[in-house]
Structures are given as structure tokens and as C-alpha cells.
Amino acid sequence: MRLAIMQPYFFPYVGYFQLIAAVDLFVVYDDVQFIKNGWINRNRILLNEAAAWITLPVERGHLQDNINQRHFVTYKPACAKIINQLEAAYRKAPCFREIKSLVESLLALEEDNVAGTLKRQLEELSRRLGLSTKFLNSTDLKKPEVALGGQDRVIEICCAKQAGEYYNSMGGVPLYDPAAFAQAGITLRFLQPRLQTYKQFDNAFVSNLSIIDALMFNGLAQVSSMLREFDLVDKPTTCFDQ
């Protein structure tokens, strides 16, 4: 079985969904520390020819709180603001009406905490993109007797689910040792997205934006085909920022 583990992100870029598409089981890493000013509750869209943030505010909490212990605040007003931002940014995009409606339906999938909300959104958008990948929260896995972190926790999760292959985004290149995975009987591979550009009005292409941007300009069917445009490598040479 092929497995990937990632923190839940808010409407992440296409490469994140390529990772989902590449595996049989996608573990949402929800019982790790919430990272402020990361990708968990915000992402970027194209506005006035440049990248601009869309954000779901998160209530104050303890620094050590996990993602599944944090909650969104003023969720509905924040969602309304995001829709207004999308209106301003993409009202002339070819797939605007369809994708605006889709985003509205996904934002309506509010759960008890940040992790729960994002997992539901990721699952539903993956389904709409034609993916059959199964999702599981890391919280739902039996905890080892000795607390593990980093690479050891990833290997433990792979072993618990009897995964023979572990796929990671390029950002994990400096974090993981292929020999340690091999010792546990697991093949470690990295997903390297192929450079994909598409027309963003008549502007110079801005990369690594939220998948919302790709959907606005290409639609569900075309973006679904983009999710297969990657390579699996053992010795990657390029890193990406999400």
C-alpha cells in the first residue's frame, strides 16, 4: 500500500492534491503542533497580477496546542470575505461561476475544530476531482507506548497501516533518511511535480497558488488531469515551498 502523511492545509496548491492522488491512504496529521503563519489556515490567490492571501482566522491558544485542538473564529464572516476576494480576483475567469459555487459548498463543511473542517474540505474536493484515495486522521491511530516524533513517527504510522511505500512532498527531502525507511521494509519516494503553467488572464504566470486559482482558469476536469503530472524520485533535485 502507498501512504502519505501531511498536515491539513487550507485549499492547498495542486502539488498537495497530486500527493493525495498518488497514494492509497492519505493520513491527515492532525495531532501535531499548529504552526502560525503557515499553510494550515491560509493560502494565496491571484489578485491584481500578484499573490494575495486568503485566511480563516484561528482563535488564540497555547503555543503547544495541536491542530485538532484549535478552532476557527468568526468563521462565517471570514468565509464571506474570502468569497468577496474571489469575486474581485476571478469574476472574469472562464470557470468562475462553477468554482465559486464549489468553494462556497466546501466552506460550508464546518466541523468542530480546524483539523476536522480542513479534512472534510480536502476529502470532498478530492472526490470532486475524481480521486478514490482514502483519508484517515493520525489521531485515530493507536499511539505507541513511547512518544515518537519526526521520522520515527512517520515510520511507525506506515508500519501500523502495513504500507510498503511512503510518499512525501519535496519539502521532506532534508527530513527523511531512505535507509531508515528501508530498514523498516518501506520504500521512501518523493513526489516532484512537473512544471505546469496555464493562462492566468494575460499576465505572467504566478506559481504555487491555491488550487482555487487552477480551478478558476481550468475547471475540475482539466485540473483532475493535472494531478497525474508528477514524477516519483528517490534523489530529488528541486524543492517546492508548500
CA–CA distance, 119 with 114 (Å, rounded to integer): 9
227 within some domain: yes
241 within some domain: no
137 within some domain: yes
CA–CA distance, 36 with 62 (Å, rounded to integer): 11
Backbone angles phi and psi of 137, in degrees to 5: -80, 140
Backbone angles phi and psi of 229, in degrees to 5: -90, 75
26 within some domain: yes
202 within some domain: yes
If you average pLDDT over residues 104-122, what whole number do you get?
Answer: 97
CA–CA distance, 89 with 87 (Å, rounded to integer): 6
Counting beta carbons within 10 angstroms of the beta carbon of residue 48, is it exposed (0 to 12), middle (13 to 18) or buried (19 or more)? exposed
240 within some domain: no
84 within some domain: yes
User: Range of 224's domain?
Assistant: 2-233
Looking at residue 196, its pLDDT comes to 84
Looking at every residue in the chain, the average pLDDT score rounds to: 93
pLDDT tens by residue, 83-97: 999 999 999 999 999
44, 154 Cβ separation under 8 angstroms: no
109 within some domain: yes
pLDDT tens by residue, 117-140: 999 999 999 999 999 999 999 999
Domains in the chain: how many in total?
1
| Per-residue pLDDT at 240 exceeds 50 | no
CA–CA distance, 97 with 187 (Å, rounded to integer): 43
Backbone angles phi and psi of 171, in degrees to 5: -65, -15
| Per-residue pLDDT at 147 exceeds 70 | no
pLDDT tens by residue, 158-216: 999 999 999 999 887 888 999 999 999 999 999 999 988 999 999 899 999 999 999 99
